[in-house]
Amino acid sequence: MADTKREIERKFEFPTAVGDPVRLPDLTRVPGIARVVDQGVVDLDAVYYDTPDLRLDAGSLTLRRRTGGADAGWHLKFPVAKGIRDEVRAPLSDALPPELAALLRSRVRDAQLAPVIRLLSSRAVSRLLADDGTPLAELSVDTVSAQGLAEGASGTTWTEIEVELADAVHDESILDGVEKHLRKAGIRPSASASKLARALRETAPPKPHEDDGGKDTGPADGTAGAEVLGYLRHQRDALVAHDPAVRRELPDAVHQMRVATRRLRSAFTSYAKVIDRSVTDPVGEELRWLAGELGVDRDREVLAGRLRSHIEALPVTLLLGPVRARLRIWSADRGTGARRRTLAVLDSERYLTLLDALDALLADPPLRPAAARPAADVLPKAVLKDHRRLAGRIRTALDLAPGHARDLALHEARKAAKRTRYAAEAATPALGKPAKKLAKRVKAVQSLLGDHQDGVVARDALRLLAARAHAAGESAFTWGLVYGREEAAAALSERRLPEVWARASRTKLRGRLRTAGS
């Protein structure tokens, strides 16, 4: 069974030759550190795995099988932030454990993982302790011998220092203090994010000279094609990166993965003058399928959380009957199998085929003539077209009387707001502040309409809960009370919409977008 450890560490280059004595400064002068306790030397043997085209390295992931030390086993590391990684561990075995293989599936797919680097490290370990003996961090001086395992690869050696906070410590001021003293001693931060990155760089076999034969390398910088493709690649990368986070059940991972699918689909549609929809539409349909499958779990979580917050906000005197218990049962019933279904989708051939289709599309994009034109000429027109579409849907909704038809129309307006916002966000790197401001204003419209739609869905659920409570002989009063509050909140959203929309549709703002970048 895999478990996860959060690593907060810093690496440093030791400026002497391998074999020279390592002299460290007195780290008890670092505030908080009272003692430095020698823990001896341990020998580590790690084999790192990747695909032949180094897909894991491209995503800053590392996969290794290590023997020696207290944590021998399989280790898969995901970047979190600079100097911070999550290490997912599994027991030592000959083959890659299935739980780690699943976390790599969106990147590896049908490629084969193979050994790429072997690292032999002699690690001298010291613990940095507080006055009361509490471990603050572990400092290791590693003498590393790296051997590339690809044909023609070489070997290299170096010495480095690694300082990692203890598991229960999250105060990086300890690392700041250690770094300050190491720098004064002439020891600088490592130029490589990991041992593997350095080993790959220094042991790689020479690359043969390749003549591209004058092959087109893609649209020029500053063109509409370059901007749109850059955005699409970023969203493709986000989709792939969020896959293991969903499998690990990290907070908001399902939502962020779903957002990446929507942004891709939206860009295909908004920028149809740049990239050919006859090619992107089939991929867009598959993205729609994936978003829908991911939405089953996500929508359940959002709805359950919304109803729970309503109940928790009520005084005890207004909770008539076993309200909390019924809500828990209802939520559990809806959640049964949702997690299993999500994982089945991510393991499906259809999903992996979609990822391959995205890669193929971006490797050989079906660009249209407008892709070669300046981004400042093409992108504003696409954003403003989406904005006009949104304006029409909001007018339609506001012309309707409150009720079911208006609810449906407002939901359609919400989807149009989302598309307009995404189009503006995609254009922001090229168009700057006007596009960024429009995206922010339209996001406010989207949020208002999103809350309204969540209320519509919540009222449907509340009717069901009230009916079940009544059928069981329980009071339906509390469910009716919450229903009334949702109804009032929806009416308030509808009254606020004209004002929020007015800020997102000002002529001056749209005029600035038209002239952005010109």
User: Residues 449-467: pLDDT tens digits?
Assistant: 999 999 999 999 999 999 9
Q: What is the mean pLDDT of residues 371-400?
A: 95
Q: Give residue 299's pLDDT band: very low, low, confident or very high (50, 70, 90).
A: confident
Average pLDDT over all residues of the chain: 92
Block residue for tokens 């407002």: 410
Q: Which residue has the higher pLDDT, 17 or 356?
A: 356
Q: Look at the block and give the residue holding tokens 């990368």.
A: 237
Amino acid at 325: A
Q: Which residue has the tokens 């749109």?
A: 228
- Residue 62, pLDDT score: 96
| Residues 435/510, Cβ–Cβ less than 8 Å | no
Residue entry with tokens 């007195």? 26
Choose the weakest-confidence range: 102-111, 136-145, 198-207, 432-441: 198-207
User: How confident is the model over 406-412, as a mean pLDDT?
Assistant: 97
Residue 209 pLDDT level (bands cut at 50, 70, 90): low
Percent of the chain topping pLDDT 70 = 95
Q: What is the pLDDT of residue 18?
A: 61
Predicted confidence at residue 211, as pLDDT, reads 56
Query: Is residue 202 predicted with pLDDT exceeding 60?
Result: yes
**DSSP at 366:** -
SS (H, E, C) 406-467: HHHHHHHHHHHHHHHHHHHHHHHHHHCHHHHHHHHHHHHHHHHHHHHHHHHHHHHHHHHHHH
Q: What does the alpha-carbon distance between residue 172 and residue 447 come to, in Å, rounded to a whole number?
A: 36
Does the pLDDT of residue 212 top 60, yes or no?
no
Decide: 32 and 180 in contact? Cβ < 8 Å. Answer: no
- pLDDT of amino acid 207: 72
Q: Which of 151, 191, 196 is nearest to 47 (CA)?
A: 196
pLDDT tens digits for range 120-179: 999 999 999 999 999 999 999 999 999 999 888 899 999 999 999 999 898 899 999 999
Residue 417 has pLDDT above 80, yes or no: yes
Contact 152, 206 (CB under 8 A): yes
Examine the pLDDT at 338 and tell me if it is beyond 80. no
Partnered with residue 85 across adjacent β-strands are 7, 79
Please check the confidence at residue 510 and state whether its pLDDT lies above 80.
Answer: no
Mean pLDDT of 478-488: 96
Q: Return d(Cα 346, Cα 102) in angstroms, integer.
A: 9
H/E element holding 90?
strand 84-90
